[in-house]
Structure 1
Amino acid sequence: MTTPRPRGRDRTAAIPVTIVDACLRDGTGGSPTAVVAETPELRLDDESRRRIPELADTSHAVFVATRPGDGGTAVRFFTAEGELPACGHGTVAALAYLAEQTGAPTYQVALEAPGGRTLHGRAVRQGGLVQAEFDVGPVALREPSAQELGLLLPALGLPLVASARVATLGRPRLLVRVPSRGTVEALAPDLPALAQACRDLDLLGCYAYAAVPAGGPAARQRYVARMFAPAIGVPEDIANANSTACLAALQHASGGLVAGLAVDMGDRMGSPATISASIAAPAGTEPPLVRVGGTARVSAPRSGA
């Protein structure tokens, strides 16, 4: 990570920030995420929260607040553009950070997320890394409209796709299945056009994915994906756990999810990441309970500048 540059007397420059590399692949890469612990003595306004990702040189920041009375823990997620109702790799980062704070080998918590949602998370510390996972809320799936496809596919540079669905988890996003890994890797979206289309359609962004060969019939299904979200100030996400949870829900709905799935992301950005997802509820439970997670590394805290 580069050292962020302070701007004048910005009060956020002195705020302690911990960088968590979330959703590592084989112990490397991952999505750098800024984690800030808010206390009764340190309460930020939303403008200051929006400044943290820029100062910390990360795409996202998660703010963790533990109440001194009952020990409840709330999380909020921000990019430079504003607050998000949910952030999967931010939740992985928060769980890893909290687990490191306890020092215990295993950790469980019910996180209070925006919108009154509760995220049941757990983490295991081992060898300097933290394996974290959590249960996401229900995923709503629907067919995209002709208008949505007419605006989004040209902006993505995709004249033809294998299938597409709009999935909502926190905010709606378009899941687009393309023929091959090569198609995913070659994507070069028109980011200004995609940002405008997503704003017009009130979508978070577009998650393009393709299946890749797995290691046998009992292995997790393997995918490669890229997530473009320029409308929220993230041209491309290194790791997007919530969209991966949406993919698991989609595969489950189609009857094709057996042993869970793993999605590789971030390679085009020089930071390989892997997210895992599975259906955690008993068969026949609707809507399905999706569990998503990844491996994280927690860095030493530093000031915001």
Structure 2
Amino acid sequence: MTTNDRLAEVLHYTAFSSQPDGGNPAGVVLDASGLDDAAMAAIAAEVGYSESAFLTGPPDGLGGVPGRAFTIRYFSPQAEVPFCGHATIATAVALAERIGPGDLLFATRAGTVPVTVTGEADGALRATLTSVEPRVEEIAPDDLTEALAALGWPPADLDPRLPARIAFAGARHLVLGAGSRARLADLSYDFAGLTALMRKLDLTTVQLVWRAADTVFHVRDPFPVGGVVEDPATGAAAAAFGAYARELALVPPESVLTLHQGEDMGRPSELTVTLRAGDPRIRVGGAGTRMRR
């Protein structure tokens, strides 16, 4: 048992898969009331997953059902981030195993995020989060050139039908379209160079996308600013991508998108992104399960 284990019980869950060896692992601390920022950062670094989530009581005025509303914070091994989708899904599943499925409410640094957990016919739990209001913006040509150089992607390898944009749904992500599945599969990038650009642009990940069908996409997410080469499932980026796809009219306003991620890492994940006409917020759902430590 480490020092940090004595400070708080860390649960290990994976999100966006019903299998422990799939999805994106997250550390989950259901009672972080005794932890300061330094302790949470140290636990996240020790756990080593791309994110760990820490729960405390809700702030005044949050609302929600008593006992089902919380403050949640997210730490990567190197930094705190304002919002993390997969750690939200993992935390919601962990809570549902203890207090039952239903509606939850999380106060994040990015805003209030409702989550609904349902039980599947096979006994698995599935959680769906509703993002904060998203936005999409252009990227400066020089910044795009720098990003492509760090990735080692010639401009000709981009898909012109998926133009580069920065999308936000709780955190900022640069969306780049790959011209082929082979281009997406071949990921070897300049870690320091991409990190520097991402810090300059306040990006959480770079989301690399290949369109397999009208509503089916394969994605990869380098995450060097968090000290992680790549994320196997990125719920915040999936929400941002939903906003991007709607903004650019790539899909109908009322759509359900399927994102496959983690296959090239050996941790297959499936993320469902739901767009509703007349509602700017994006819904991202997936299964979750506890992992063997």
TM-score of the aligned structures, taking structure 2 as reference length: 0.87
2: CA distance between counterparts of 1:128 and 1:37? Answer: 22
Q: How far is the alpha carbon of 1:76 from its aligned partner?
A: 0.7
1: CA distance between counterparts of 2:197 and 2:73? Answer: 26
Q: How far is the alpha carbon of 1:19 from its aligned partner?
A: 0.7
- Report Cα offsets for 1:232-257 as digits up to 9, x if no partner: 21221111111111111111122232
Q: How far is the alpha carbon of 1:139 from its aligned partner?
A: 1.4
Q: Are residue 261 (structure 1) and residue 257 (structure 2) matched?
A: yes
Aligned pair count? 279
2: CA distance between counterparts of 1:172 and 1:67? Answer: 25
Q: How far is the alpha carbon of 1:66 from its aligned partner?
A: 3.5
What secondary structure, in the 3-state scheme, does the structure 2 residue paired with 1:44 have? coil
Q: Are residue 32 (structure 1) and residue 28 (structure 2) matched?
A: no
Percent identity of equivalent pairs? 26
- The one-letter amino acid of 1:223's match is F
2:63 match: none
- Give 5+ residue unaligned stretches, structure 1: 215-220
How does 1:1-305 map onto structure 2 within 5 Å?
Answer: 6=2, 10-13=3-6, 15-24=8-17, 29-38=22-31, 42-66=33-57, 70-71=66-67, 72-102=69-99, 104=100, 106-115=101-110, 117-126=111-120, 127-160=122-155, 161-162=158-159, 163-213=163-213, 221-258=215-252, 259-280=255-276, 283-285=277-279, 288-299=280-291
- Report Cα offsets for 1:179-203 as digits up to 9, x if no partner: 1211111121111211122123322
- The one-letter amino acid of 2:81's match is L
Contact 2:26 2:52 in 1 (8 A): yes
The 1:170/1:67 distance shift into structure 2, 3 A limit, reads closer
- The one-letter amino acid of 2:251's match is L
1: CA distance between counterparts of 2:16 and 2:83? Answer: 16
- The one-letter amino acid of 2:180's match is S
2: CA distance between counterparts of 1:89 and 1:141? Answer: 21
- The one-letter amino acid of 1:222's match is V
Q: How far is the alpha carbon of 1:294 from its aligned partner?
A: 0.8
Contact 2:55 2:72 in 1 (8 A): yes
The 1:66/1:97 distance shift into structure 2, 3 A limit, reads farther
- The one-letter amino acid of 2:290's match is V
2: CA distance between counterparts of 1:264 and 1:99? Answer: 25
2: CA distance between counterparts of 1:179 and 1:294? Answer: 27
Contact 1:175 1:209 in 2 (8 A): yes
Contact 2:41 2:77 in 1 (8 A): yes
TM-score of the aligned structures, taking structure 1 as reference length: 0.84
The 1:245/1:101 distance shift into structure 2, 3 A limit, reads same
- Give 5+ residue unaligned stretches, structure 2: 61-65
| Range moving further from structure 2, 69-78 or 55-64 | 69-78
- The one-letter amino acid of 2:218's match is V
2: CA distance between counterparts of 1:78 and 1:262? Answer: 27
2: CA distance between counterparts of 1:298 and 1:230? Answer: 26
Aligned-CA RMSD value: 2.3
Q: How far is the alpha carbon of 1:172 from its aligned partner?
A: 1.9
The 1:43/1:184 distance shift into structure 2, 3 A limit, reads same
- Report Cα offsets for 1:153-200 as digits up to 9, x if no partner: 110111112221011233322100111211111121111211122123
Contact 1:34 1:53 in 2 (8 A): yes
Contact 1:100 1:298 in 2 (8 A): no
The 1:13/1:79 distance shift into structure 2, 3 A limit, reads farther
